[in-house]
Amino acid sequence: MGFLEDIEDVTGLLNSLNGFLRDAGLGNVVEELERLADQAGRLKQELAAAASSTHWTGAAADGFRARARQREDEVAVLVAALDSAHSAVGAAYAVAGIF
């Protein structure tokens, strides 16, 4: 196989990928992942605000703040996963959209 045949094979593969991604609606998936990441980011901020705005003291307040921080950490992991998925799907969609 020569160089031109290799280029044609790669181009054909990318064209097939483009068709698959378009048919699968991955453009919508990219937008939805971005929306979910934004929502999760806002939730993380709300949890941080709730934990820092607690004005009562005692064991219940300490427990609330600890649980809010734990949930904030869990949401941060979710945000990172959504951002990663958004980046990966967005990159695949962008590459396929080129061809």
Q: pLDDT digits over 8-56, tens only?
A: 666 666 566 556 656 666 667 777 878 888 888 888 888 888 888 878 8
Take residue 22 and report the two structure tokens written for it.
């378009």
Give, in order, the Cα–Cα distances in Å from 83 to each of 5, 40, 57, 59, 87.
37, 10, 36, 36, 6
CATH for 46: 1.10.287
What is the structure's pLDDT at 90?
Answer: 79
Determine if the pTM surpasses 0.85.
no
pLDDT in tens, 64-94: 888 888 888 888 888 888 888 888 877 877 7
Total domains present in the chain: 1
Cα–Cα distance measured from residue 17 to residue 75, given in angstroms and rounded to the nearest whole number:
33
> Which residue range forms the structural domain that includes residue 51?
3-98
